[in-house]
């Protein structure tokens, strides 16, 4: 089973996670944001609270790409005020609705950076060792907002990072598969198989090749 820890215990002693971080194994830490007293635990705790705090902030929904033959311009982000997106979530009946996935924390979006702190267990960042390294990987913080039926396809992190994720409101289902010689087929897995797959692996597994 996937290893679980209490966030208050981890906040008091981050060495509890050392072996998992060293070996690149997934681990679940419950209530760590609460233990670290993130402001987001209040302002992001529900859709209503989030819209009250940030409803006017424009956030990226997708990138608009130029049609073929109209030059090599860079994709332009399509942003919606988060209050407008919340109304879309309430109204949509789509099987696979749009969800917000942003990496731009400039202008009004800089306020989000004050709502959390990086947990000490994951504070080491190779790219922070110098400006040249940081410029090689400038987009390293992501914020995801979605309603029912939103999500991503099965994938390996395209940047091969070792990441931490925090869920602040709602429910998110994760399916974690250890490295395989071929792409796993989730369509052939029962829900029980998903649960059995979570956390499978050993310290010999390549740490940056887990399927999500």
H/E stretch holding 30 reads strand 28-30
For 137-175, the pLDDT digits (tens) are 888 899 999 999 998 887 777 777 778 899 998 888 887
The single residue listed with the structure tokens 């302002």 is: 43
**Half-sphere CA count of 34, side-chain side, radius 13 A:** 11
Q: Please, which pLDDT band fits residue 182 given cuts at 50, 70 and 90?
A: low
151: left (phi over 0), alpha (psi -120 to 50) or beta: left
* Closest to 175 in 3D by CA, of 163, 158, 193: 193
- Interval 3-25 mean pLDDT: 90
For 74-123, the pLDDT digits (tens) are 788 889 999 999 999 999 999 999 999 888 898 999 999 999 999 998 88
At residue 207, the pLDDT reads: 40
pTM score: 0.78
């Amino acid at each position: 089973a996937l290893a679980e820890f209490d966030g208050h215990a981890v906040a008091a002693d981050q060495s509890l996670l050392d072996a998992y971080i060293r070996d690149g194994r997934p681990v679940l830490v419950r209530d760590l944001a609460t233990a670290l007293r993130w402001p987001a635990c209040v302002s992001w705790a529900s859709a209503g609270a989030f819209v009250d705090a940030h409803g006017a902030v424009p956030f990226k929904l997708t990138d608009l790409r130029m049609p073929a033959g109209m030059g090599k311009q860079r994709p332009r982000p399509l942003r919606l005020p988060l209050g407008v997106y919340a109304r879309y979530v309430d109204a949509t009946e789509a099987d696979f609705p749009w969800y917000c996935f942003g990496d731009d924390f400039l202008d009004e979006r800089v306020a989000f950076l004050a709502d959390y702190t990086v947990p000490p267990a994951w504070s080491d960042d190779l790219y922070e060792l110098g400006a040249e390294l940081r410029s090689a990987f400038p987009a390293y913080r992501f914020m995801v907002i979605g309603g029912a039926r939103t999500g991503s396809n099965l994938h390996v992190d395209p940047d091969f990072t070792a990441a931490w994720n925090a869920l602040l409101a709602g429910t998110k289902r994760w399916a974690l598969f250890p490295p395989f010689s071929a792409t796993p087929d989730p369509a052939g897995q029962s829900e029980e198989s998903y649960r059995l797959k979570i956390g499978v692996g050993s310290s010999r597994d390549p740490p940056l090749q887990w399927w999500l």
